[in-house]
Amino acid sequence: MKQAKHLAITLGDPAGIGPEVLLKLLPNILDSDNKATVYGSSAGLAILPFGGMDYKFGGGKLLIGSLEVDWADPTPEIGPGDLRLGAPSALSGRCAVESVKMAAADVLSGRAGAMLTLPISKAAAQMAGYDINGHTELLQQITNSPKVRMAFVGPKLKVALHTAHQSLRSAIDQLGAKSVADTLRFVSTRFAPMLGLKNARVALCALNPHAGEGGLFGNEEMALTQAIEIAKKTFCEPSSACLPEFSGPWPADTIFQRTSRGEFDIVVALYHDQGMIPVKLLEPKDTVNLTIGLPFIRTSPGHGTAFDIAGKWAADPSNALAAANLAFSLMG
């Protein structure tokens, strides 16, 4: 008998749109083949105003119509009176982070095959005393993973970030041929195989306008050109079937459109917004955040907590649905 795939879903910040997205998501992804356990503050459901959905919670179970889903609450001491919709706080941050910790432990133990995380507030997590800049860094700490990268998967765009949650100044200051070459190799050995890509065509973004225009607008592209050469020489033997095609650095104002037309398979962006702006502009509802380098599959919708619309039943679950579908498909 075929064993059902099991997904660990974290609620995210209970003061944001996570609870609403979850309720809209679950009936669309669960059946006899796909199961899930939700990890999060049950108070997040209690403070959500009625929005016309038929759901009940109690005894560690969430009932949505005839659908029954297991629920694990790592912070049961935090009640509805401690949280307020649309208002991130130290308590909402603690709920979110502890949920991620509990879910990750269950995935590592084999109780679930993959993890889907709904959005957390980095500010709320910091208020709660957790020194993290986001899910990616938190999961790296939890799993003791030596290297991770943020990546995004959409119908036409596959993008990996060389640097993620840090200032633009620090990202530029840390650019170097060896570090970028390391990212290129990492993307080719960890990201491309997850997508079933062999001999992946990996395009590297330039930093400066027009890729520096021969040094007229900056010299950083010299290091990026070196990075490509290093990656080509050290990846694998030229006769190997796994040899990727590295190219660039390409001007960032055109490379994403070229990739969406099929000219390249993966784009490596140098900093967060360089990769995220085109992804969110071209494929806002379909792009999934996929963490590379963890010992398990982790996906997430490509949006935030949206505190401004929390409780208004206006949240779109499309991104979360895409993230769940990708997680189930990667479980095999």
Task: Please indicate, yes or no, whether residues 101 and 8 belong to a single structural domain of this protein.
Answer: yes
What is the average per-residue pLDDT within 64-79?
95
Longest pairwise C-alpha distance within the chain: 66
Reported as a pLDDT band with limits 50, 70 and 90, residue 237 is: low
Q: What angle do CA 64, 69, 72 make, to 5 degrees?
A: 125
In this predicted structure, which of 137-141, 229-233, 237-241, 261-265 has the lowest mean pLDDT?
A: 237-241
What is the average per-residue pLDDT within 152-160?
95
Cα–Cα distance between 40 and 95 in angstroms, integer? Answer: 7
CATH of the domain at 112: 3.40.718.10
Task: Please indicate, yes or no, whether residues 284 and 152 belong to a single structural domain of this protein.
Answer: yes
What is the average per-residue pLDDT within 23-33?
94
Of 260, 275, 292, the residue at which a domain comes to its end is 292
Task: Please indicate, yes or no, whether residues 130 and 230 belong to a single structural domain of this protein.
Answer: no
Task: Please indicate, yes or no, whether residues 180 and 117 belong to a single structural domain of this protein.
Answer: no
pLDDT at 76 over 60: yes
Asked if residues 24 and 51 have their Cβ atoms less than 8 Å apart, the reply is: no
pTM of the model: 0.93
User: pLDDT tens across 276-319, in order?
Assistant: 999 999 988 899 999 999 999 999 998 899 999 999 999 999 99
Task: Please indicate, yes or no, whether residues 9 and 57 belong to a single structural domain of this protein.
Answer: yes
Instruction: Give the β-pairing of 288-292 and 149-153.
Output: antiparallel
Question: What is the structure's pLDDT at 221?
Answer: 92
Cα–Cα distance between 121 and 50 in angstroms, integer? Answer: 24
User: pLDDT tens across 78-136, in order?
Assistant: 999 999 999 999 999 999 999 999 999 999 999 999 999 999 999 999 999 999 988 99
Task: Please indicate, yes or no, whether residues 230 and 126 belong to a single structural domain of this protein.
Answer: no
Question: What is the structure's pLDDT at 211?
Answer: 84
Task: Please indicate, yes or no, whether residues 132 and 61 belong to a single structural domain of this protein.
Answer: yes
Task: Please indicate, yes or no, whether residues 132 and 238 belong to a single structural domain of this protein.
Answer: no
Task: Please indicate, yes or no, whether residues 305 and 271 belong to a single structural domain of this protein.
Answer: no
Cα–Cα distance between 98 and 161 in angstroms, integer? Answer: 26
Q: Which residues face 5 on adjacent strands?
A: 34
H helices present in 261-317, as ranges: 272-282
Instruction: Give the β-pairing of 55-58 and 61-64.
Output: antiparallel
Task: Please indicate, yes or no, whether residues 161 and 281 belong to a single structural domain of this protein.
Answer: yes
Task: Please indicate, yes or no, whether residues 135 and 40 belong to a single structural domain of this protein.
Answer: yes
Cis ω for the linkage preceding 14 (within 30 of 0): no
Give the domain range for residue 81.
1-145+294-332
pLDDT at 216 over 90: no
Task: Please indicate, yes or no, whether residues 45 and 164 belong to a single structural domain of this protein.
Answer: no
Total domains present in the chain:
2
